Amino acid sequence: MENPRPQLSQIELQQLRWFLGGLIGVVSAWTVFYMEVDALLALAVITATVPFFTLFPRFSRALPAIFHRLAFPLIVTVFALDLWGNREPLPAMIRLDLMLLGYRCISPRGRREDLQLILLALFVVVVTGVFTVSPAFVVQILFFTGAALGLLLAVTLSDARAGGLAGNAVGWEHVRWPELFRRLRAAADLRVVALAGALFSGVVALSALLFLALPRFEITNDFFIDRLITKSSRTGFSESILFGEVNKIAQDGGMAFAVDVSDPAAVPSDLYWRMLVLDEYSGQGFRASAGLRNSFPPVRDKAIVHGGVGRAREDRTVWTIYYQPGVSRYLPLMGGYGRLYFGEPQALAMSPPLRIAALPSEPAKMVGYRVEGMDTDGVLRDRVFAREHVLPAWDSPRARIYFGHDAPPPEPGENAPDQEGEKEVGAPTFLELNGVAPGDLEKLRTWVAEMGGAGVDGPDFARRAGAWLQARHTYSLDSSTPGGEGDVIVRWMGSREPGHCELFAGSMVLLARAAGHPTRLVTGFKGGVWNPTSGSITVRNSDAHAWCEIWDESNGSWVRTDATPGGQLTPAANNDGLPAGASRMEQDTGWSARLDGLRVFWYRRIVSFDQNSQLELMRGTKDQLRGMLVGIRDLLEEQIRRLMEWLRQPWDLTRIFGSLAALGALAGTVWFWQSSGRGWWMAWRSRRTASHRHDPVRREASRWLARLERRVSVLGATPGPGLSATRESLLRLRYGARQGWAPPAEVFAEAKRRLRELGRGKRTMPADR
């Protein structure tokens, strides 16, 4: 084989090892940024020192011996103090790993230390991957694998060069990086690099195939480490919302969740993702009252499937939601639902009267779940509240009605015996205005009268109040409330200041309650954009929103009302709930949308790739393959049938001669190609090839020379004049000037003949014939 590459010297290999080690150290340490581990100091130190020492390794030699003697005891002491102080083993271990990694990167390394560095880096990368399950992990692990393989190769080469003797080459610390990389480029055979890259890609592809093909195991999320890292909420949807908090959430443009819809045509015109229902007004915001919290049953046992309360069970649309970590423990849903599936057994708390579901704690990594039979029309029926205007506790007999979707509405008096001894959960709070001073209450009633809201039903009131609010206030994220005494919302309503969604929603709640309509505040997300890259809906934190649900006495249901300008005052007003289709949604085609699409693909095909997805994929692949095979078989059968028909036709002289002529032409073409055509074609290509290296004639001559010499060597033949002449001709084709070439086709034919003769045992070739 031709190998025009110089070899790296021992010093250069040592320099390469140093560089790769530093690179692995820094990149793997940076992966900790993805986790909520408090390791900023260690990361800052590594970021500052490791690149410096990597680029100027001579300073590593200059570190005093006392530094190396004290380093390990100090690191262990810091780890012990960290563990003792924080009581969190895994974060402490990650910080320990970072300290060791940093030390390994800046101190001189031999073979053993290089291997230690790889292991330390591997620990960080794997832990990050397990916790984040993010697409970035793929990049990290691929980069790490490539760099670690490079480092191991350099270690092996330098060991082999040193004859297995450990020890660094003298003077390697004085690096001229441009020169080293130039040498590395010269030493690297691009063909070998390409082959290695192809092999690496092949292994990755094979792993991906195995991932897709292997049976799914139900691995639960019960690893102890899952609970060791706590992640603080990024956006803060909790049971208590102060005015301005939702607005603050809307400042963040990050993705909150992505939604796959089985039938994009079923997407309603306006999407309201409910997460929290709040009832108690505090004067500074809304929170969940004790009664509301009691409507939540305890967290159910872990299960893959959780049944719910929804009217749309006949709806076969499936919504798959990829919920980002750090948003909230409450799951975004548009209303009641029939069933809710998780990829792995998951504990869930669900309030049937509120149609709200929550995880036991805020997830630290993406949670994927599938919702079937989800109500999207913004109307939530509530039989118990309709009858008694009471929110029952989760364990009250009245609450069970929520768990039986098909249960008939209770007859009057039916539940009377059950009500004895029923736990009281406090008066309903959907009408309370405890935080409002009497003077402000009077103002509210005045405004209700002004808008003609007295004596109308809930939805009608909502429309009047919404129109009244929108006539006085415009929408703005940058809003302010006038100073003075009294309730902040009442002050705002009395002004002409612009406001954000919380002010509009809070005002609607206060006005409705003052008019005697039970009303509650809902927080969550409104809208989303269609991502054509992934074919999914993307909802961002900037879509965070607050709106209300007002009681509709006539229908016994809670009706969504959004008083914020641009929102729907009541679903009926705009015919809400009718599918509008994803095609009418706003399209997001920017680069961030493409990245989001990639992320959704990752969630869809890797993270949430369960048995169903696998079966679906396998079935699709099988169908495609079968279709292809059937197509090929049909084609072949058709051709054979035509041939047979043609053969069965009567054979006259014209057909016989025509067929013979065609066969003769075919044989002649093959013979011509073998004898001359190929040589001519090669010679023609040779003339058009500027590079000797890629000259087809030279390459072919090289192959024939190798065959001849191998055969002669195997047989121990004595080259006679004929064989020598053939060899000489081949040598001329291989190394000689083009002007002196004999016709290549003839030379190759002669070489073929010589080889055949040698194969027949003619060890000594006769003279040229």
Partner 1 sequence: MSDFFSATQVSAARESLHKIRESMRGTIKGKDTVLDQVLTALVAGGHVLIEDLPGVGKTTLAYALARSMDCVFSRVQFTSDLLPSDVTGVAIYDETIKEFVFKKGPVFANIVLADEINRATPKTQSSLLEVMDRGKVTVDGQAHAVGAPFMVFATQNPVDYEGTFPLPESQMDRFLMRLHMGYPQAADELEILRSTRTGYDAIAMEPVVTRSDILQLQQLALHVFIEDSVLDYILRIVGATRTEADFRAGVSVRGGLALKHAAQARALLEGRDFVVPEDVATLAVPVLAHRLTLVRPVSDGMEERRLVVATLKRIVSAVPPPV
Q: Which residue has the tokens 């402490």?
A: 92
Question: Toward partner 1, which CB reaches closer, 533 or 702?
Answer: 702
Question: Toward partner 1, which CB reaches closer, 167 or 631?
Answer: 167
Q: Which stretch binds partner 1 (CB under 8 A): 359-367, 438-446, 529-537, 692-700?
A: 692-700
* DSSP 8-state assignment for residue 568: -
CA 438 remoteness from chain centre: 54
Q: Which stretch binds partner 1 (CB under 8 A): 204-212, 327-335, 699-707, 752-760?
A: 699-707
Residue 344 corresponds to which tokens in the numbers above? 């792995």
DSSP characters for 89-131? HHHHHHHHHHHHHHHHHHS---HHHHHHHHHHHHHHHHHHHHH
For residue 557, give Cα distances in angstroms to 405, 513, 570, 687.
15, 16, 13, 86
Q: Is 711 in the site for partner 1 (CB under 8 A)?
A: no
Q: Which stretch binds partner 1 (CB under 8 A): 27-35, 210-218, 479-487, 736-744?
A: 736-744
Q: Is 112 in the site for partner 1 (CB under 8 A)?
A: no
The only residue of 731, 746, 756, 766 in contact with partner 1, by rule CB under 8 A: 731
Q: Is 739 in the site for partner 1 (CB under 8 A)?
A: yes
Binding track over 650-689 against partner 1, x by CB under 8 A: ----------------------------------------
Residue 204 corresponds to which tokens in the numbers above? 């990755």
Q: How far is the C-alpha of 203 from the C-alpha of 191, rounded, in Å?
A: 18
CB of 5 to partner 1, least distance (A): 8
Question: Toward partner 1, which CB reaches closer, 185 or 693?
Answer: 693
CB of 150 to partner 1, least distance (A): 20
CA dihedral 563, 568, 570, 572 (to 10 degrees): 170
The only residue of 417, 438, 740, 761 in contact with partner 1, by rule CB under 8 A: 740
CB of 161 to partner 1, least distance (A): 9
Q: Is 3 in the site for partner 1 (CB under 8 A)?
A: yes
Q: How many of the chain's residues bind partner 1 (CB under 8 A)?
A: 24
Q: Three-state SS across 461-499? A: HHHHHHHHHHHHCCECCCCCCCCCCCCHHHHHHHCCCCE
Q: Is 724 in the site for partner 1 (CB under 8 A)?
A: no
The pairing of strands 255-261 and 318-323 is antiparallel
Q: Is 188 in the site for partner 1 (CB under 8 A)?
A: no
Question: Toward partner 1, which CB reaches closer, 384 or 705?
Answer: 705
Residue 599 corresponds to which tokens in the numbers above? 């992320």
Question: With b meaning 16 or more CB within 10 Å and e meaning fewer, what string describes 529-544?
Answer: bbbebbebbbbbbbbb
- Are 697 and 684 in contact, with CB atoms under 8 Å apart? no
Q: How far is the C-alpha of 248 from the C-alpha of 241, rounded, in Å?
A: 11
The only residue of 464, 526, 698, 754 in contact with partner 1, by rule CB under 8 A: 698
CA 693 remoteness from chain centre: 45
CB of 684 to partner 1, least distance (A): 20
Question: Toward partner 1, which CB reaches closer, 251 or 724?
Answer: 724
Q: Is 6 in the site for partner 1 (CB under 8 A)?
A: yes
CB of 87 to partner 1, least distance (A): 55
Q: Which residue has the tokens 């919290």?
A: 293
Q: How far is the C-alpha of 501 from the C-alpha of 380, rounded, in Å?
A: 21
Q: Is 713 in the site for partner 1 (CB under 8 A)?
A: no
Q: Is 4 in the site for partner 1 (CB under 8 A)?
A: yes
* DSSP 8-state assignment for residue 634: H
The only residue of 312, 705, 723, 755 in contact with partner 1, by rule CB under 8 A: 705
* DSSP 8-state assignment for residue 329: S
Q: Is 381 in the site for partner 1 (CB under 8 A)?
A: no
- Are 514 and 242 in contact, with CB atoms under 8 Å apart? no
Residue ranges binding partner 1 (CB under 8 A)? 1-7, 9-10, 691-693, 698, 702, 705-706, 731-732, 734-737, 739-740
